[in-house]
Amino acid sequence: MSQPNPLYAERRARLASMLGEGGIAIIPTAPARPRNRDTDYLYRHDSYFYYLTGFTEPGACLVVSHDGRSTLFCQPKDLEREIWDGYRLGPAAAPAALGVDAAHSAAELDTLLPRLLENRSSVWYPFAIHHGLAARVEGWLNAVRARVRYGALCPAQQHDLCTPLDEMRLIKDAHEQDIMRRAGAISAQAHIRAMQRSARMLRAGEDVREYHLDAELLHAFREAGSQYPAYGSIVAAGANACVLHYQADAAPVRSGELVLIDAGCELDGYASDITRTFPADGRFTGPQRALYDLVLASQDAAVAATRAGARFNDPHDATVAVLAQGMLDLGLLDRNKVGTAQDVIDKRAYFQFYMHRTGHWLGMDVHDCGSYVEPSEVGQVSERRDPLSGEIITNRPSRVLRPGMVLTIEPGIYVRPAEGVPAQFHNIGIRIEDDAIVTDTGCELVTRGVPVKADEIEALMR
């Protein structure tokens, strides 16, 4: 049997050192989830559990105590079940395979957990992740409380384990960065395939549907060994691109229209997240190109603002500054009504066409964990009135970027028909999204295997 990768034991040891004297942590994996009748959804492990074990079977739970000792509960060997559902590692093999100190059948959780919790000062588990876990922990603690007359001590404190684990997960180590680079490269090739399929079919006079392009993505993901899409792929033809969470469906992909594809594979537990917007037949029209070049310029500004020491909000602010000026220059917004680019920003007038943020953390989860506020500055609270809603918004300084953080950079413009909006831009939706690893001097874009420049997209679709 191969040796366990030591990085999981190192992560468990780091976590243990954060639990405090007498602390103990409980980290279940995700349950199998029924889809309908006796068929389950494709199984996906829990990200926190996987981060600490590298183990992908359902029905498992890890316990880590402050002294570094780790105990795994996992599905017992069961030859009958393994004929139906596949191989199980089993508790006997788990210590050697995963580097945990002890392993038991998951059937023993309710008996053994109270013993592991006894005489501890605090118990940590992820809050609001696992349905019913808090009640289960209470049950285990009640079993400890039933023994206090015999001298047992029951943990008096409960803490959210997400807090220390989120901080650990926010900085991706070399192993994680390597997987994310590979995931980004696979997804980039998938986007190229989809673009080329669109142009090829339209040139051949075929009836192209969004699902044809979705099929190219899925093929490329699986062909390269990725397990599944990291999220439901968006393949949006024409006006569908203005629906932010549109899913690939059956709408026709027509010459003269744009297609927005937001899709990324998950590779070995890590997500990638790419958006490209391209002309269905391989040639941008004038108005499409004008909007496209504006979104790309705003992404360039965001990329330039992404480096260690900058704030998480800096790329967003850089994007908005470019979009605000561009919206005035292209006549999407009327200077006579809204004023200067600074007025567009101050009044949040750009929101009509750009209504999401410019990025999010990326990692095992596509919208990955990690605080967006700088932890050392949470007390620095300021207030402002939102110019559109009139609400009072509480601000805290946004996160200082550090090497190894990974975030998306994804500006866009979505033009729904409205009075005063030039008709040539109606129903155009454009987003350009890349995945960036923060470095000391800037950022590494791991998804540029698929080009972003309009000329380069036209060239690869020719």
What are the residues binding ligand GLY (CB under 6 A)?
231, 262, 273, 360, 366, 410, 433
Selection from Mn ion, ligand GLY, none that 231 binds (CB < 5 to 8 A by kind) is: ligand GLY
Active site residue 377: no
Smallest separation (angstroms) from Mn ion to the CB of 254? 23
* Minimum gap (Å) between residue 360 Cβ and Mn ion: 6
**Spatial distance between the Cα atoms of 418 and 193, rounded to a whole number of angstroms:** 35
The yes-or-no answer on residue 383 being catalytic is no
Question: What are the C-alpha distances in Å from 388 to residues 6, 205, 359?
Answer: 52, 47, 22
Contacts with Mn ion in 240-269 (CB under 5 A)? 262
- Look up 8 and say whether it is catalytic: no
Three-state SS annotation for 348-401: CHHHHCCCCCCCCECCCCCCCCCCCECHHHCCCCEEEECCCCCCEEEECCECEC
Residue with tokens 């500006």: 411
The site partner of 214 among Mn ion, ligand GLY, none (C-beta below 5 to 8 Å per kind) is none
Q: Helix 454-461 to helix 174-203 angle, to the nearest 10 degrees?
A: 60
| Cβ 73 vs Cβ 103: under 8 Å | yes
Q: Which of residues 383-422 bind Mn ion (CB under 5 A)?
A: 408
Contact 291, 413 (CB under 8 A): yes
| Least gap, CB of 373 to Mn ion (angstroms) | 20
Catalytic annotation on 159?
A: no
Q: How far is the CB of 432 from ligand GLY (least distance, A)?
A: 11
The verdict on whether 104 is a catalytic residue reads no
DSSP 108: G
According to CB under 5 A, which one of 210, 273, 314, 435 is a site residue for Mn ion? 273
Q: Which is nearer to Mn ion, 113 or 401 (CB)?
A: 401
Residue 95 backbone dihedrals phi, psi, to 5 degrees: -60, -45
In the complex, minimum distance from the CB of residue 262 to ligand GLY, in angstroms, rounded to a whole number: 5
Residue number, 271 or 341, with CB nearest to ligand GLY: 271
Question: Which residue out of 21, 37, 38, 419 is catalytically annotated?
Answer: 38
CA 34 centroid distance within chain: 23
Q: Do 106 and 91 meet the contact criterion of CB atoms below 8 Å apart?
A: no
- If the CB atoms of residues 176 and 410 are measured against ligand GLY, the closer one turns out to be 410
Q: Which residues bind Mn ion (CB under 5 A)?
A: 262, 273, 408, 433
